[in-house]
Amino acid sequence: MLRRKTVRQGKERSMKRSGILAMAAALIVAAGMLLGLQIGSAVSGSHAHEALQKLEEAYLLINRHYVDEVDSGRIAEEAIRGMLAELDPHSVYIDAERMRRVNEDFDASFEGIGISYELVEGPDGQDTLAVLNPLPGGPSEQAGLRSGDRIVAVDGTPAIGFTHEDVQRTLRGPRGTRVTVTVLRPGYQNELTFTIVRDEIPLFTRDAAYMLDDRTGYIKLNRFARTTYQEFVEGLQQLRRQGMERLILDLRGNAGGYMDMAIRLSDEFLTEGQVIVTARGRLAENNLESRARSGDLFEQQPVIVLVDENSASASEIVAGALQDHDRALIVGRRTFGKGLVQKQFTLADGSAVRVTISRYYTPSGRLIQTPYHHGDREAYYEAKAEQRRHEAHLSTEEIIEQIPDSLRYRTDHGRIVGGGGGILPDVVVPRDSVSALMQTILGRNLEDGFVREWFDHHGEALRRTYPDLEAFRAGFEVGDAMLEAFVAYLQAHDVAIVEAPLQAEQEAARAAGTLFTADAFAQDRALIANVLQARLAVRLFGHSAQYPILHRMDPVVQEAMRRWGDAGGLAALYADRR
């Protein structure tokens, strides 16, 4: 009943949206011209041609007779959005400015000074630009910038009160150009000045590659961009030199990207000739069947793939292919369920439309895409949230029992896998419940703010004591003094830790998340210490340094480490079929 109601509400929203955008939709003619299409050849069939003429006529009438002057550019963009919204949730319009950022993300590089940064509340409530990390090997690191530096001026112009847009405008720029930054460094009385030569800055898609133990390698990918396959291969080879016998591939939070990268990565685990993914569309030119080739890097060893509800698209290609061929054990939570393939068409002003051209299927025939009603995104995401709530505490076997026979598929060795949207893991690990205290701390980024201040005072000593990550992991301990300082920091930011029992007048503060008992803090002590150490590691050694620390208390990683018997069994089955 709830699902039918959601779909009905979605239809109503879709009709309202269509009415609002009907006038704007006339500008499809302009969109066609921007794409460089000959309208007559692009539109086939008398009905489609008549509809196009109707749209053109409506636009000319509006442009000529509307009471106010028409903003053609704005209406054109709304027209394109309106048309795409009637198709599916993943056919979208991307304006020119956003398209520039998207291209940087998936080209995996940009030109600038090479820092990760944060905007820290400064004097009079104005933000101060603080260096989180200079990127390794980048121009800022070479110039001498450090984690914790506050950039107070750029080329002599004050940087206090900068927005993210100001940062992009002033620090990014063509390779080879110079920019001078003025810095306040904690522990130094005088300002420091650095002249930095901008360069091409890589955006890595591999967050981490390290050994969990003397046998187990771990690689985490955050998206699939142009460099992902090469980054993965380099990480794999690095770990094999360190003695890796089995691999955890972490695709949690990986929303996808280039399909080709997912196909090439999957190929490294599979035997020549095995199907990786198929795509089927209305036009034959959009159909695809990708198969593994020879020369694989990791074809026989045990593999576990980690996924969650934010693993989508290209991530699902990898997980689906390895699951269907019994090549890897999938651990985590059901993936997002995006099985629509988009083709991008660039418009004359640098904006773009991404149009769905096909659907993709796993080797067993599963359609990964979850059901949708046209482009109604609200109903689409509501249905996904409802599915997650329903499956929150069910095992894989319990979920499959509820799936109709038409949505049950079999792997190469006959294991049943579930369809109906997304990749259902072989081992479901429910989302870890987070206490109210941790929700407050993490939700308000209080751990980050505290570590920033702690690092300002203790950063130099930490650098001297712990020259590398291994020494820091083994030797640093979040002790009583640091935790007491953290409690004081919480108190200063309106989060009190008090002794139980609470008084009646304190209940409202407890309910509002601004007051907690010392017992609650004690229960979360180990997790708090873990998070604080991880945040310190980022400032000392970069973004990837946090993972070896966080994984000590990561329930999905810990469950995966208990499942090597199952993963090894799959690897043995896979070897037998060869």
Exposed/middle/buried for residue 284 (C-beta within 10 Å: 0-12, 13-18, 19+): exposed
Q: For residue 163, give every residue at least 6 positions away whose Cβ sits within 8 Å of its Cβ, in sequence order, or none.
A: 119, 127
Any idea which residues carry the catalytic annotation? 313, 324, 338
Q: What are phi and psi of 7, to 5 degrees?
A: -65, -40
- 25 Cβ contact partners less than 8 Å away, ≥ 6 residues apart: 55, 79, 82, 83
Q: Crossing angle, helix 314-324 and helix 259-267, to 10 degrees?
A: 30
The answer to whether the CB of 186 falls within 8 A of the CB of 152 is no
307 sits in the region (left: phi over 0; alpha: psi -120 to 50; else beta) called beta
Structure tokens at 252: 């949690």
Fill in the DSSP letter of residue 224. B
Max intra-chain CA distance, the chain: 78
Say if residues 252 and 282 touch (Cβ distance below 8 Å): no
Instruction: Report the relative pairing of strands 303-307 and 246-250 from DSSP bridges.
Output: parallel
Q: 576 is written with which tokens?
A: 């037998």
Distance CA 127, CA 134 (A): 19
Whether the bond between 501 and the residue before it is cis, its omega within 30 degrees of 0, is: yes
Count of other CB atoms within 10 angstroms of residue 543 = 17
Q: Give helix then strand counts, H and E, for the chain.
A: 23, 23
Q: Say what the alpha-carbon torsion angle 434, 437, 439, 440 is, to the nearest 10 degrees.
A: 180
**At a CB cut-off of 8 Å and minimum separation 6, what does 386 contact?**
2, 3, 6
Identify whether the C-beta of residue 404 lies closer than 8 Å to the C-beta of residue 352: no
Instruction: Give the C-alpha separation, 388 to 335, whole Å.
Output: 10
- Rounded-to-10 torsion of CA 423, 428, 429, 430: 90
Provide the CB-side half-sphere exposure for 438 (13 A, CA).
15
Pair 226, 284: CB distance under 8 Å = no
Cβ atoms of 154 and 161 within 8 Å: the answer is no
Q: Give me 544's structure tokens.
A: 């990837």
Q: Which of 336, 373, 499, 408 is nearest to 86 (CA)?
A: 373
Cα(323)–Cα(399) distance, integer angstroms: 17
